[in-house]
Amino acid sequence: MGLRANPTYRQRRFGAEVRAIREGAGLTAGEAAAVMGMQASHISNVESGRTPLSRERLRALVEASRCKDTTYVDALVEMGQASGKGWWTEYRDRLRPSLLDLAELEDGACDIVCYEPMFVPGLLQTEEYATAGYRDGYTSASRSEQDREVEFRMHRQAVLSGEHAPRLHAVIHEAALHVSFGDPAIRRGQLIRLLEAAELPNVTLQILPFDGAVAFGTSFTTLRPSVRALSTVIVAHIERSLYLGEADSLARYNDWFAKLCEVALPSTSGERRPGSYSVKDSCGLIQRLLYPLL
């Protein structure tokens, strides 16, 4: 089997976990290769995600290591054996690989937590809002490329209503609720969409108000599978988003998200009578902002 030219995030993450197990056991590449019955030169390709590792060889490495967490090992075996195929596969060679990585992570997540200081999270955007964001943004993509990315974003949203839908907990700064892209109808439709999303049993929505605590300046999303140690934090950046999976990074962003939840307005159901616009909770604030646009 030839080496992968462009391994996916999942494949690179699997390799990083294999390396962590090897290093945790104090094994050199040569010693680990001997344990697994393979060439030492093969190890670097496994650890970089450029070639797979059989379940038998992975379990042999685990047996020689200090790793005793069978739940983690079983999940890692599954990660290594996954085909990586899903609805997003049809977009391969048509979209940036990072978007396909995101869709695959969302598909395998049990929980998705995110913080957005300026825009509504992609999983909760209306098509009009997403389209305007691409049209008025700084992307150099062509109109057809923009339309394809909007289509992809709308397709991603199906994960919230699937058979094994993850729980989504979003903290959004109030600034994001004022974005209209010059069209009040876009803003109105987006605020209504947020209220509808808040009624879903697997969605928790909190707003960080202008008059609340100092906002955290960078948007980030944590995607958590059934085994939390295999979670990933995606930190948005104008050049290239960061994908973080190290234990200290996960702990740091989990702590920051917990603090954001503490200072944001509490989440409540979007089910309210018209005219009930209390700003003491998140949906009340959204409704108060929506009222002048109706």
CATH number of the domain where residue 133 is located: 3.30.870
**Tens digits of residue pLDDT in 172-182:** 999 999 999 99
Say which amino acid occupies 265. Answer: L
Asked, for residue 4, whether it belongs to a domain, the answer is: no
Contact 264, 174 (CB under 8 A): no
Q: Which amino acid is at 61?
A: L
Q: How does pLDDT run across 65-92, given as a tens digit for each residue? A: 988 899 999 999 999 999 999 999 999 9
Residues 72 and 97 grouped into a single domain? no
Single out the residue of 112, 76, 100 nearest to residue 223, CA to CA.
112
- The pLDDT tens digits for 212-260 are 888 878 999 999 999 999 999 999 887 778 999 999 999 999 999 999 9
- How confident is the model at residue 269, as a pLDDT? 54
Q: Does some domain include residue 101? A: yes
Are 169 and 246 members of one domain? yes
Total number of domains constituting the chain? 2
Read off the amino acid at residue 127: E
The tokens describing 200, both together, are: 């879903």
- pLDDT over 90 percentage in the chain: 80
Residue 280: inside a domain: yes
Give me the domain span that covers residue 48. 9-81
95 plus 64 within the same structural domain: no
Q: What is the sign, positive or negative, of the torsion defined by CA atoms of 120, 121, 126, 131?
A: positive
pLDDT of residue 141: 76
Q: Would 2 be classed as within a structural domain?
A: no
The residue from 58, 81, 104 where one domain ends is 81
For the whole model, what pTM was predicted?
0.92
Q: Specify whether 65 is located in the same domain as 103.
A: no
Could you tell me if 67 and 198 lie in one domain?
A: no
* Per-residue model confidence (pLDDT) at position 277: 45
pLDDT digits (tens, 9 = 90+) for 112-160: 999 999 999 999 999 999 999 988 766 777 888 899 999 999 999 999 9
How does pLDDT run across 7-51, given as a tens digit for each residue?
999 999 999 999 999 999 999 999 999 999 998 889 999 999 999
Burial grade of 172 (CB within 10 A; 0-12, 13-18, 19 or more): buried
CA distances to 52, 175, 207, 261, 265 from 213, rounded to whole Å, are 46, 13, 11, 11, 11
- Return d(Cα 224, Cα 111) in angstroms, integer: 5
Report percent pLDDT > 70 for the chain.
95
Start-to-end CA span in the chain (Å): 60
Measure the CA–CA gap between 145 and 258, rounded to whole angstroms.
36
Q: Please, are residues 115 and 257 in contact by the beta-carbon 8 Å criterion?
A: yes
Tokens 């009624």 sit on residue: 199
Residue 22, pLDDT score: 94
Out of 24, 59, 81, pick the residue that ends a domain. Answer: 81
- The CATH code of the domain that includes 15 is 1.10.260.40
Q: What is the reported pLDDT for 278? A: 46
CA atoms of 282 and 280, how far apart (whole Å): 7
